[in-house]
Structure formats: C-alpha cells, structure tokens
C-alpha cells in the first residue's frame, strides 16, 4: 500500500485547524460565568441608582430596588396609571442625579393606551411620578410600545413603538413609530426637526419610520444615540438615531416579511436611514449597550446586543462600518434577555430575563 505523504499532511493540517477552532471556542465560552442573583416577575427595565443597588421595573406593575450584594429586595410604591395589557405595562426606567424617568403603557380610558414617560425624585418608599410625555393618539392595542430611554446632555431620548399600526410610523403628525427627544424636564427642544424644516412634524419627534424599538443607549465614546429595532419575520436591526430622518417602516421591510408570509418592501432604498446591522432571520433584538468597563475591557467600544428569540448576547464591532464583526458570546443559557446594564464601577454585566436578574463576570 502506497501512502500519499502530501495527503496525510493535508489531513493533519485540517485536523489541527479543527482542533484549534474547537479549543478556541471552548476556551472562549468558558472565560466568563453567569450567576442567577434573584427571581423576579417579568422584569423589563433597570438602572443602577448607586454602586450596590439597581432599580427594576416589572411589566405587571411593581418597581423594586435590589441590593446586588445582599440580594435584598425593596418594593417601592408608585402612583402610575398603567395598564398591563399584551406587551405593555411598566417598561424602561433610568436614573440620574437622584431623579427617575420611566416609560410605561398609560391607561388612557376606553381600552386605549399610550407609551408615556413620567419623572419622579428618587424615594425608596414611594415614588410620585408626573407625566412629561404622552404618545398621541392613544390606541386600543397591546402591541409594540417600544420603549427604551437614554439621556444625553440634558436631553431625554425615548423609543416609541408603532403599536402594530404599520404605516402610522410614516405619519409625523402622530407619535407612534418614532424616536422622541425632549429635555429631561419635559420641555420641547427648540432645535427639534419641527423647528428646522419639518413644520408638519410633532414637536417632540426626532426621527420616524420605526417599528418596535426595544433597545436605546448613548455611547460613552462618540456620544451618539444608538437603537435596536425588533422587526417582523426578519428585519431586526441596530443603527444610529439621526435627527429628522426616516428608517422607512412600513415602506421598507429591512429584509423581513409579514407574519403571514407576504412581502413588505425592500431591505433599504435611498432616501431612508440605513441601519448599521440587519438580522435576517430575526433574532428578536431587545436591549443594547455600548460597553465601557474594566471586567471585559477588550470589549470597550463594542455594541452588546441582547435577544429574545435566540436568547443570545452578541458583540458587534462597528467602528469600521465597511467591516463589521459580530460574535455570539452565548446563546440559550439564561433565557429570553430583556435588559442589559453595565456596573458603573467594575464593568460587570447584569441581565434581566423572563423571571430573573443575572450577573456576568470574568472567571
């Protein structure tokens, strides 16, 4: 029997490559730990109020303060007139300088609700919220409220879903399907699009054409606002909030189709904002953050994107838009991921899933 040495060398080479890839994957997947902190009931939004405590909303209506060290839970009373319906309830919450802002599905009467935003001073016993924004018109629907909050230079940005109404996202005389920008006290900025060439836009609207934006964050590196959008059957995306522009829903389908299987529209065409990254099929993109911290310092500047459908954490390197690099950090380990927060001091990562608060840290 004649042995082909070249063939053996090729087989040996590919065996080494396969071994290396498997080993690298294994070592990468084992360089962090995921630890369950406490059990919750449909948590939705979270924000650190100090180095030891994180405030959390539960969709069904409770606001809780969790001590991440002692694991003690404090339930805080509040006065929000919310309606727990479909995808609505208490949604995102954000803390800054002893103030809280919350987005929620407000009960507007006659089964109609809106994505509304309220503000309160932080009080660990009882929160007295006052509305500073209400999406109009109120709609009888349990779908697509959005909604995330981000603060930049005294401006409050909020994502408002289109409530399952499709082309309403193309109507700038209505709030659903848009990015909102107001001052943190509720006052309307004088340089919003309505006052700079788009007189038919509602004064709070910053950008239109969005379906169900469940991620919103400010990058601590370039100070830009980024968002993620939950598409239909396919068509999830990650992109930048751009003043006076239009992401195209429901003229564009972003690569997805209706749930019935019918087509929506092209992935993108000139005249509309182009997303940085699309996912087809859908991953059900949810919360996002631009990582900055010590714990995973090699990720600094990267987008961390969570998902509901495939229960994954994804890292997106997007400093060069012509050469994006996406990695799935983990998948199917902790359930559907609703929110992500980075500890303000040590950089450890906290997740909200369907019924738990989780901690991710280096081994």
Nearest of 261, 259, 310 to residue 283 by alpha carbon = 310
pLDDT given at position 363: 87
Query: Is residue 347 a contact partner of residue 302, using CB atoms and an 8 Å limit?
Result: no
Residue closest to 240 by CA, chosen among 196, 268, 282, 206: 206
pLDDT at residue 255, as a whole number: 93
Distance CA 10, CA 274 (A): 44
Model confidence at 198, in pLDDT bands (50, 70, 90)? very high
Residues 277-295 have pLDDT tens digits of 999 999 999 999 999 999 9
The burial class, CB within 10 Å (0-12 / 13-18 / 19+), for 10 is: exposed
The model's pLDDT over 25-56, given as tens digits with 9 standing for 90+, comes to 333 346 899 999 999 999 999 999 999 999 99
CA quadruple 90, 91, 93, 99: dihedral sign: negative
Catalytic residues: 144
**Residue among 82, 188, 94 nearest 133 (CA):** 188
Running DSSP on this structure, what letter comes out for residue 10? Answer: H
How buried is 137 (Cβ within 10 angstroms: 0-12 exposed, 13-18 middle, 19+ buried)? middle
pLDDT band at 261 (very low <50, low <70, confident <90, very high): confident
């Amino acid at each position: 029997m004649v042995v082909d040495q070249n063939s053996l060398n090729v087989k040996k080479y590919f065996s080494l490559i396969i071994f290396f890839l498997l080993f690298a994957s294994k070592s990468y997947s084992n360089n962090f730990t995921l630890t369950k902190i406490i059990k919750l009931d449909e948590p939705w939004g979270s924000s650190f109020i100090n180095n030891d405590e994180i405030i959390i909303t539960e969709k069904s209506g409770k606001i809780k303060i969790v001590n991440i060290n002692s694991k003690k839970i404090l339930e805080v009373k509040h006065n929000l007139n919310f309606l727990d319906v479909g995808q609505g309830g208490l949604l995102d919450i954000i803390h800054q300088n002893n103030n809280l802002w919350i987005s929620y599905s407000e009960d507007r009467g006659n089964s109609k609700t809106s994505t509304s935003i309220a503000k309160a001073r932080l009080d660990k016993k009882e929160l007295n919220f006052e509305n500073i924004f209400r999406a109009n018109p109120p709609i009888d629907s349990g779908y697509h409220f959005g909604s995330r909050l981000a603060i930049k230079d005294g401006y409050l940005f909020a994502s408002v879903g289109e409530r399952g109404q499709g082309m309403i996202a193309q109507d700038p005389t209505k709030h659903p399907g848009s990015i909102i920008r107001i001052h943190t006290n509720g006052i309307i900025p004088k340089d919003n699009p309505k006052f700079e060439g788009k007189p038919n836009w509602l004064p709070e609207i910053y950008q239109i054409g969005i379906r169900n934006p469940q991620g919103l964050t400010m990058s601590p590196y370039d100070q830009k606002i980024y968002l993620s959008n939950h598409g239909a059957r396919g068509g999830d995306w990650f992109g930048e909030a751009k003043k006076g522009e239009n992401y195209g829903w429901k003229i564009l389908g972003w690569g997805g189709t209706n749930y019935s299987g019918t087509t929506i529209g092209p992935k993108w065409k000139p005249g509309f904002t182009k997303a940085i990254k699309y996912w087809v099929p859908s991953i059900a993109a949810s919360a996002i953050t631009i990582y900055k911290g010590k714990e995973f310092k090699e990720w600094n500047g990267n987008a961390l994107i969570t998902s509901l459908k495939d229960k994954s954490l994804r890292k997106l390197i997007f400093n060069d838009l012509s050469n994006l690099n996406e990695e799935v950090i983990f998948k199917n380990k902790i359930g559907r991921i609703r929110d992500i927060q980075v500890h303000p001091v040590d950089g450890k990562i906290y997740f909200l899933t369907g019924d738990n608060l989780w901690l991710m840290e280096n081994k």
